[in-house]
Amino acid sequence: MSDSRVLYLVYCGIAVAVLKEFNVVVTEPYMDEPFHVPQALAYCRGEWSTWDPKITTPPGLYLLSVLLHRAFMFRCTLPLLRLTTMLTLLALPLILTRLISFHQRRRPPPLLAPLPEAIVLSGFPIAWFFGFLYYTEVPSLVSVLCTVVAASQGNHWLAALLGGISCVFRQTNIIWIVYAYAASQLMHLRFKRGPVTLHDPPALSAGPYDLVRSITSAPSALRELLPSFVPYTLVFAAFGVFLRWNGGIVLGDKSNHIPAFHVPQLYYFISFATLMGWPALLWGEDGPREVLSEVMTRIRSLLTALISVVMAVTIHRFTIHHPFLLSDNRHYTFYVWRRMFMVHPVAPYVFIPGYQACAWAWWLRVARDQSLLQTLILPILVVPTLLPTPLLEPRYFLIPYILLRAQVGDVSRAGTVVEGIWYSAINAATVWVFLYNERAGVGRFMW
């Protein structure tokens, strides 16, 4: 048996043991589970017209549980409903292997022998933690990754179908269908034989003029790109019908989920991504010193000063103190916000140089072996995903982070080991606090 298979079996064994402990210690639905679990139980009973108006996501999670319930004849109890999400967590390394292989442009290994890097990334703390609760995060992530992988393999009808399914878990996944199609087509054009009409130079050697040329050359590439886009038009048309029927993208409790122009959310994401993914940023082919040196070179410029002014204005005008963030002390973000961002009026502005350094670090690592448009497509699509969300919530960063991290194609073995240790330490701490450090009158602490 190969080392990767052994590592995957260890990953599965630990996941099963953690789920068992969750079910032993947390015997009642917690946090959002009191909304999700009764809805799933109603569907298990065949009560298809029942719907809790406070639920803001589509019924994909409950439908998946009903499918497993009927296929394997298990009862719809809380432990077995949580098994739904844990099974998707077990599938995560398998699909991540395909995604990482796509970005590294190599043939993926056999299905049940996932890459060690994919197994480590599957332990990303947000995915790992919510893989043991009855939440939509991990099933939504897996469905999006399946869409991206299918598109990368040229199976666009399958990708469109999987993309439609992903929107049944979370309606905002419609944006990642665009990403799946764009990422696949940019890779296709980059390595296409014969003349290429789209200007898309290597990212690290490109300048502002290259971006202008890429935009102006895009119409000439439409004839080649549009045939592959046909399957996706059906999904977008169906989504348009949903928007018209629903009166907007938010289901259920619209009053607490009003879209907002939350520019600093983008800054929180890039800093969160760096805090979580620093081993992948530092341990590349050139080593930590080269990355840090290049970042320092990039931020020592007049452009940095100009960007800092713009960022300061956006922080001043568009920072949102969401009522949930200020009142729910069972989430880590409650303490981050109060002890870092609210400690002094100047505090939010102090992080501006750090935000820029983080952004440059990711750009340098992701752009290393990609074209200009390949590197830009994810940041562009992160904007409509995170900008309208008024609440600082790490779960919103899950899919963008995984897609970003998967593009770093030259993480050394040492970097992967350090990343695995880092994730494991965070997971051990957050799971222990959640399970065994419940506070009287407060509850359990979680992401």
SS3 letters across 373-427 = HHHHHHHHHHHHHHCCCCCCCHHHHHHHHHHHHCCCCCCCHHHHHHHHHHHHHHH
Q: Which residues contact 310 (CB under 8 A, 6 or more apart)?
A: none
Nearest residue to 292 (alpha-carbon basis) of 351, 365, 370, 349: 365
Q: For position 1, what pLDDT does the model report?
A: 62
Q: Is the pLDDT of residue 354 over 90?
A: yes
Helix (H, G, I), strand (E, B) or coil at 321: coil
Question: What would the pLDDT profile of 410-431 be if each residue is shown by its tens digit?
Answer: 999 999 999 999 999 999 999 9
Sequence-distant (6+) residues with CB within 8 A of 386 are 262, 265, 266, 269, 396, 397, 400
Q: Residue 258 pLDDT more than 70?
A: yes
How far from 368 is each of 294, 298, 407, 417, CA to CA, in Å? 12, 15, 10, 21
Tell me the three state secondary structure of residue 288.
helix
Quick: pLDDT tens for 168-225: 999 999 999 999 999 999 999 988 877 778 999 999 999 989 999 999 999 988 888 8
Q: Is the pTM for the entire model greater than 0.85? A: yes
Q: What is the pLDDT of residues 267-316, one digit of tens each?
A: 999 999 999 999 999 998 878 888 899 999 988 888 899 999 999 999 99
230-244 average pLDDT score: 96
Q: pLDDT over 70 for what percent of the chain?
A: 99
Q: What is the mean pLDDT of residues 224-251?
A: 92
pLDDT of residue 259: 84
Q: How far apart (Å, rounded) are the C-alpha atoms in residues 112 and 127?
A: 20
- Given this model, what pLDDT does residue 135 score? 97
pLDDT at residue 236 is higher than 70: yes
134 closest CA partner among 204, 205, 80: 80
Tokens in use for 336? 């981050």
Q: What average pLDDT does range 122-144 have in this prediction?
A: 98
Q: Please report the pLDDT score of residue 256 as a whole number.
A: 67
- Measured CA to CA, the distance from residue 417 to residue 273 in angstroms comes to 18
User: Which residue from 137, 128, 133, 135 is spatially nearest to 422, judged by alpha carbons?
Assistant: 128
Predicted pLDDT at 300: 81
The Cα–Cα gap between 270 and 359 comes to 6
Confidence class for position 130, pLDDT limits 50, 70, 90: very high
Count CA atoms closer than 13 A to 394's CA, side-chain side: 20
Is there a contact between 59 and 168 (Cβ–Cβ < 8 Å)? yes
pLDDT for 173: 97
pLDDT confidence tier of residue 25, bands split at 50, 70 and 90: very high
Q: What is the pLDDT of residue 421?
A: 98
pLDDT (mean) for 323-352: 92
Q: What is the pLDDT of residues 81-110, one digit of tens each?
A: 999 999 999 999 999 999 999 999 999 999
Which of 238, 243, 291 has its CA nearest to residue 415? Answer: 291
367-391 pLDDT tens trace:
998 999 999 999 999 999 999 999 9
